[in-house]
Structure 1
């Protein structure tokens, strides 16, 4: 009920060149009495300036060039972090990447069910509310202490992380394990309490760039071929682009983890081929935690590895994939990591 009140108070501008294609979406929004205004792509900037919506939805399905031009123009004038949701077809890889590069904060592939569409819209509107509180503190906000401000920033990151959960059908437990693994390993590696807490809040965003990866790749129940793997690798730079430009310590850490968690100690990783200490420490920490969780979790293409086998694989990669000092710290705190793993287990599937 509370979520629907947020939606009803919000105004959504939808820019499209074929309203028939988005009828299911507009019908879903109208059922909860949300304020929606439709316009064609070429008039979107004028309508935006006149109406000042809380969320903009741009359809790229019919007139792709018009849609991208619309995004480019909106990017130059949109104020107060008004989020943009781009609509694409199910396999429109170029459209997804172009939309994200022009400022879209999420991608919705059509057709989709009403529940997913409303969840994405609600999540972006919540992000707008949180971003306004972060960027435009009023007198009450100024009087709040550090812990209250930190809570708002943490909530902001959690909302962003939900975008990945929606995209890859994850239950959210991967993000929870990752955040606690990273904080624990960060403490063992010498991060201060404040630094490890920031890493815990930022770590769930390490895969935010996956919102641009097509379902046929992201959800493929088999190993990826070379072209698919090349596409998957772009989630690091896309994620970094989405998180760039913010001056908060939390989002700077989130940017670094998104960009560098697939770099390797010996320089053989991606996307930049960084090596050794040129890789930010938060990226090095996240790399070990991500591999440990991936190995010990069920994936569409593999069963979970036994913990002892996963630990052995990580130890073998010391000096190659991982910083040797962090591998040693990882082994030292393994009991703590296993306690985290036991606490944030995947829910049982009921047949």
Structure 2
């Protein structure tokens, strides 16, 4: 094992003689760092976190208990194992040390063999914990990636009903996430929106192809059927009791509602429309207008933006639309990255 591979132990004690004993006991197996007071110890841990800390309790200024409390209150240092090495042999002191997060408690005078054994034991536990945490993070990431892929496939399955590539759901979900982030919404909301938005038109699975793919305007009876797809989508998604699917259900149900109350299926208006529904309404229309459809050719960006502005305060939330319009350069980049092959930029 090279020096760089050896675990690092921080020794904290205001008595140099005690430091010397610990150094002699541990220097052959570990890299050692030394602090003679609590303040210095915290600086060292902040700059170069060790793998384990041997910490005296009774020191001038900050006590070892104070140092341990600060370490355990900081997410960046809370997992570092701390072993108190102290002359305080009272069981109450030992209990206090363990209660504030110490991994172990060794009393002075120091028994070198006990110190070595305890250090080796807690480093092994620490390494196992780190490995398990790493595996959990990896599995969690894999599950999230799989979930997102399944969600996108579900959204694209509906989109394939009236769009050959299904890239609409990718583009519009990224437009919506960008709008939400720029509007100042938190990371959790934005990530949930990115995952949920692709399912906005899942209800189209229940709409007959002769209506979805009709190359001309729909008649009144056909429009009545088409306007069923928000409720169909909400019914498909609403039975899964998770935060993400509840958001997806609200989006499916409300992304065709209008700011002035003239939308469907319920004709709700303004802030009565869920925020995610108002955001998706903008992203969905922007992408629909700039894409080819069976009943129309793609509009240019200028034509689309002009139409959106004309619908400000009528179809769309005016504040959200103003933010969206200002994002035009970023929207074009997203469109270029996920563009249908048969659509040209305009």
Q: Give yes or no for contact 1:236–1:258 (8 Å, CA) kept in 2.
A: yes
Instruction: Give the deviation of 1:162 after TM superposition.
Output: 3.3
2:333 aligned with 1:339, yes or no? yes
2:231 aligned with 1:203, yes or no? no
Instruction: Give the deviation of 1:197 after TM superposition.
Output: 1.5
Instruction: Give the deviation of 1:269 after TM superposition.
Output: 0.4
Tell me which residue corresponds to 1:250: 244
Please give the residue correspondences for 1:238-317 in structure 2 after superposition, counting only pairs within 5 Å: 238-317=232-311
What is the count of residue pairs matched by the alignment?
A: 210
Instruction: Give the deviation of 1:265 after TM superposition.
Output: 0.6
Q: Give yes or no for contact 1:209–1:235 (8 Å, CA) kept in 2.
A: yes
Higher RCO (CA-CA < 8 Å; seq separation 6+) = 1
Please give the residue correspondences for 1:17-28 in structure 2 after superposition, counting only pairs within 5 Å: none
Q: 1:148 to 1:195 in 2, by over 3 A?
A: farther
**Distance in 1 of aligned mates of 2:306 and 2:163:** 29
2:181 aligned with 1:187, yes or no? yes
Tell me which residue corresponds to 2:211: 217
Instruction: Give the deviation of 1:297 after TM superposition.
Output: 1.2
* Deviation digits for residues 236-290 of structure 1 (CA, Å, limit 9, x no counterpart): 0000000003222221111111000000011110001111111011100000111
Instruction: Give the deviation of 1:143 after TM superposition.
Output: 4.1
Gaps of 5+ in 2: 1-131
**Distance in 2 of aligned mates of 1:277 and 1:148:** 36
Structure whose CA Rg is larger: 2
Q: 1:275 to 1:214 in 2, by over 3 A?
A: same
Gaps of 5+ in 1: 1-138
**Distance in 2 of aligned mates of 1:335 and 1:245:** 39
- What TM-score, normalized by structure 2, do the two folds share? 0.57
Instruction: Give the deviation of 1:169 after TM superposition.
Output: 4.1
- What TM-score, normalized by structure 1, do the two folds share? 0.57
**Distance in 1 of aligned mates of 2:342 and 2:328:** 25
Q: 1:345 to 1:159 in 2, by over 3 A?
A: closer
Q: 1:148 to 1:249 in 2, by over 3 A?
A: farther
* Deviation digits for residues 118-157 of structure 1 (CA, Å, limit 9, x no counterpart): xxxxxxxxxxxxxxxxxxxxx99x9456534432331331
Tell me which residue corresponds to 2:166: 172
Tell me which residue corresponds to 1:232: 226
Q: Give yes or no for contact 1:153–1:250 (8 Å, CA) kept in 2.
A: no
